[in-house]
Structure 1
Amino acid sequence: MALYEYRAAYSDGRIAKGRIDALHETDLEAQLKRLDMALLSAKEIAERASAVSKVPRREVLGFLFQLEMLVRAGVPILDSLADMRDASDTPAGRELSGGLFEKIEAGSTLGEAVGTFPGVFSETVVNLIRSGEVTGQLPEVLKEIVRSLKWQDEMEAQTKKLLAYPAFVMVVIGGVVFFLMIYLVPQLIGFLKNLGQEVPLQTRLLIGLSGIFVNYWWAILTVPPLLVVAVLSLSATYPGVRYKLHAMQLGMPVIGPVLKKLTLARFADTLGLMYRTGIPLTDGLVYCEKITSNVVIQNAIRRARERVVTGTAISESFAAEQLFPPFVIRMIKVGESTGALDQSLANISYFYSRDIDESIARVQAMIEPALTVVMGLILGWIMLAVLGPIYDTIAKMKT
């Protein structure tokens, strides 16, 4: 099977371009015909990238939701994919449904078919679908996948919300300070020098700082981004640097604990989902280890998994890592003893989700006044350093 870059036309005259896997041009033409398109031109390309390697998460969610509803209603998978392909109003959606249709029609299972689109479906989703097919619980598994992806989408939005506001305010403060030091303070300095009197220490410090901004503005603007790029490059190259960087993230005041809760909430949700759908606990831990972005927590999960493999209870394995607080370990232990580990993990995920919402609200409530105070102190110091000599001059003139 080769990858073709095609140009085709719909029956209403609209032109479409894209990429799709096909055995040959005749097969490509047949696939496009089923998508209500007529092939205009095609070119085989060497690159083996998927034709639908970039699909927005919301579209993937919609795709899985529709598939779950159709399969639950008893519609065969091939008919479901054909209906979704014909009803889709986006090229990516049509190509995704059409691509899966072609692979399943050729003899693949749904799990095997989605596995050929790694840029669209994660390894976790692929294995969950395969498990659902084996156990005969595909509709339930698809429903749980949609719920989990929606939850992950909300958690990512919470993370952006946590980091975006402080970053925006800091940029505004930096811009104001830069403007004051580059433009306003130099003009005031000229006025102060014309007063012809000795300026106090704080004014001399302001003059020196303004001189640094005026003479080295290019370094102030370029060095911080270069440092960030250098740190990220070192982190990508050296595991030790990456480990220390991730440990620093978790240790950051205020924000660090929230990031840890976000990571652990996703871990508990994913492990509970995989365990609930029949995937063995050790395999679930392997997949959770892969999707965990923080190396510190990833290593802790790996060490806990190794203990579980040797026969240690999962509650004892994670208690040894001190990854979860004691009450969470107790919840896992109760889940083990009652045979409801998946429910315990779901409760942990729910607890962390609620706690994250409250933590982010508290962080934002703390950050706003704190940054306002910082801004006030900076402006107050500048005004005091500038106006102090002026008031001294006026006082001397009166005497």
Structure 2
Amino acid sequence: MAQYRYKALNKKNRVVKGVVGAVNEADLYTQLQSAGLELVQCSEIKKSGGITIMRAPSVKTRDLLTLFINLEQMQGAGVPLLDALSDIRDATDNDRLRDILSETYRSVSEGASMSEGFAAQPKVFSNIVVSLIKAGEETGDLTFSYREILKYLKWQDALQSKMKKATRYPIILLAVVVLTVVIMLGVVVPQIIGFISNLGQELPFYTKALMATSEFFQNYGVYVGIAPFALFALYKILRGVSREFAYRADRVFLSLPIMGPLIRKITIARYAQTFAALYASGISVLGCLKSGRNTVGNLALYEAFENVEEQVKTGSSLSEAFNFTGEFPSMVVRMVRIGEESGNLTPVLAQVSEFYSKDVEESVDGMIAMIEPMLTAFLGGMILWIAASVFGPIYSSFGEMDF
């Protein structure tokens, strides 16, 4: 199925642009007509090396929250699924989401399930969302699935918002520090160096160090600025071509003093939240383990979760499998064991997720509280070094003058 970029007019004669999949232009016209849009112009998006040239606008978590809130309300009101998809599609402001809902509407109208339609958009609808909807279709209780999805998306959105809010000020402060260093070493210090050199006296070591640093920055500043981006690009390439490199790099990240525990806590919180939502919907333990594993980005922990699945397949309990890997804190193993023995695994895992979510927030706040004074001290030290290197020789020259 080809992807088409289109330009259309809605019922208010306003221009609407987007990207949608269609068999041909006639199919595209039919889809837009059903969505209440009048096709004005369209063109097929060409592909180069299997990669689409145009990049469609993203669908954010807030857009998905709005989608599933509407689906839950319409399901509770007894609105048929096709009518619900059509109404939400016409009301959404996100062009990309509207196009996805158009494709989903067509798939469902042709006999596919909604989970199959959403599964065709893996970049927008995660595996947990598709799994929960599929479970709701099998049990006939889509309302419960929508509620679990909303609970998961709200948790995810809250965690992302906290992380962004916590890191916003340190990023701004870091940018100020970098900009100050660039201006001082690249503009201010070179203008003063000539004057200091003409004083005709032995310069202190810290002034010589400043002059050497400024000269190095003038000669190789461009390379210093490019180096971080080049190293990051090299890291991404190596990570993509070598699984062993990716595993070792992730293992190093886990062993870092502050970042390592934070990565582990975020991963466990996301995994527990996913497992609890899926298990509450009636999905098997192995299905929950597989879906939860797909939310893990760290390869070292990913393989640990794979080992958990293998242990459960051989007959081990979930707590025993977690304990066997050696990657999970004893508190998690203990709480899972309690959940298994009491038959209340879902609330226990929800408590684990809530505990680690709060722990992540506290850890991030603590890390930010440490980074801020460090950056401030670095900036103050840099300014003090420049001031001492400049005014020190000048003050010494005054003492050697004969009045």
TM-score by length of 2: 0.89
CA contact (8 A) 1:124 1:287 kept: yes
State yes or no: 1:73 paired with 2:77.
Answer: yes
- Aligned residue identity for 2:18: G
SS of aligned partner of 1:245: helix
Change (3 A) 1:100 1:151: same
Residue 46 to residue 228, structure 1, CA distance change in 2 (3 Å)? closer
Mean Cα deviation higher: 62-71 or 166-175: 166-175
Where do 1:184-199 residues align within 5 Å?
Answer: 184-199=188-203
Which residue, 248, 251, 270 being the options, matches 1:247?
251
Q: 2:292 aligns with which of 272, 285, 288?
A: 288
Assess if the C-alpha contact under 8 Å between 2:254 and 2:260 holds in 1: yes
| Superposed CA offset, 1:45-71 (max 9, x none) | 676989988433322221111001111
Partner secondary structure for residue 401 of structure 2: helix
CA distance in 2, matches of 1:2, 1:198: 74
Between the aligned partners of 2:57 and 2:198, the Cα distance in structure 1 is 66
Matches within 5 A, 1:137-176: 137-176=141-180
Question: CA, structure 1 residues 189+275, in 2 after alignment: closer, same or farther (shift >3 Å)?
Answer: same
Q: Distance in 2 between matches of 1:135 and 1:325?
A: 35
Give the aligned partner of residue 120 of structure 1.
124
For the residue of structure 1 that corresponds to 2:9, the secondary structure is strand
Query: Does residue 359 of structure 2 align to residue 336 of structure 1?
Result: no
Q: Which residue of 1 aligns with 2:38?
A: 38
Please report how far the alpha carbon of residue 159 of structure 1 lies from its aligned counterpart in structure 2 after TM superposition: 3.4
1:183 and 2:187 aligned: yes
Residues 1:307 and 2:311 are matched in the alignment: yes
Higher mean C-alpha displacement, 383-392 vs 273-282: 383-392
Provide the rounded CA distance (Å) in 1 between the counterparts of 2:94 and 2:184: 49
Q: Matched residue of 1:324: which SS? A: coil
Matched, 1:9 2:13: no
SS in 1 for 2:158: helix
Which whole-Å CA distance do the structure 1 matches of 2:233 and 2:189 have between them? 32
Q: SS in structure 2 opposite 1:197?
A: coil
Secondary structure at 2:38's aligned position in 1? strand
Equivalent of residue 229 in structure 1, options 233, 252, 263: 233
1:367 aligned to 363, 366, 371, which one? 371
Contact 1:273 1:342 survives alignment (8 Å): yes
Residue identity in the other structure for 1:173: V
User: Cα distance 1:52–1:66, how it changes in 2: closer, same or farther (>3 A)?
Assistant: farther
The superposition leaves residues 196-234 of structure 1 with CA deviations (integer Å, 9 ceiling, x where unpaired) of 111122222222111111222222222222122112211
Distance 2:5 2:385 in 1: 62
Deviation digits for residues 370-390 of structure 1, max 9, x if unmatched? 221122222222222222222
2:320 paired residue number: 316
Tell me how far apart the structure 2 counterparts of residues 193 and 297 of structure 1 sit (CA, whole Å): 57
Aligned to 2:380: 376
Structure 2 Cα separation of the partners of residues 189 and 86 of structure 1: 66
State the Cα distance separating 1:7 from its structure 2 match: 4.0
User: For 1:213 and 1:364, how far apart are their aligned partners in 2?
Assistant: 29
Counterpart CA distance in 1 for 2:395 and 2:46 is 76
- Report whether the alignment pairs 1:200 with 2:175: no
Q: Is 2:351 the partner of 1:350?
A: no
Quote the offset at 1:191 in angstroms: 2.0
Counterpart of 2:12, as a letter, is D
Following the alignment from structure 1 to structure 2, what is the Cα–Cα distance between the partners of residues 75 and 52?
A: 30
Of 263, 266, 273 in structure 2, the residue corresponding to residue 259 of structure 1 is 263
| Contact preservation (8 Å) 2:276, 2:347 | yes
Q: What residue is the counterpart of 2:60 in the other structure?
A: 56
> What is the distance in 2 between the residues matched to 1:27 and 1:185?
66
Deviation at 1:89, TM superposition (A): 4.2
Relative to structure 1, is the Cα distance of residues 385 and 27 closer, same or farther in structure 2, using a 3 angstrom cutoff?
closer
For residues 21 and 321 of structure 2, the distance between their equivalents in structure 1, rounded to whole angstroms, comes to 45
RMSD: 2.7
Q: Report the equivalent of 2:219.
A: 215
CA distance in 2, matches of 1:51, 1:203: 51
Change (3 A) 1:107 1:29: same
Q: Secondary structure at the match of 1:216?
A: helix
Name the SS of the counterpart of 1:397 in structure 2.
Answer: coil
Verify the 8 A CA contact 2:57 2:95 in the aligned structure 1: no
Q: How many residues align?
A: 399
User: Scaled by the length of structure 1, what TM-score is found?
Assistant: 0.90
Whole-Å separation in 2 of the counterparts to 1:26 and 1:224: 49
Provide the C-alpha distance between the structure 2 equivalents of 1:216 and 1:144, rounded to a whole number of angstroms: 54
By how many angstroms is 1:332 displaced? 0.7
Q: Using the alignment, how far apart are the partners of 1:381 and 1:2 within structure 2?
A: 61
Contact between 1:53 and 1:119, CA under 8 Å: does it hold in 2? no
Per-residue deviation, 1:161: 4.1
3-state DSSP of counterpart to 2:20 = strand
In 2, Cα distance between the equivalents of 1:86 and 1:178? Answer: 50
Shift in Å, 1:10: 2.9
Partner AA of 1:184 in structure 2: V
Whether the aligned pair in 2 keeps the contact of 1:53 and 1:118 (CA below 8 Å) is: no
2:87 to 71, 83, 90: 83
Q: Is the 8 A contact 1:186 1:210 kept in 2?
A: yes
Name the aligned partner's letter for residue 159 of structure 2: M
Q: Is the 8 Å Cα contact of residues 331 and 344 (structure 1) preserved in structure 2?
A: yes
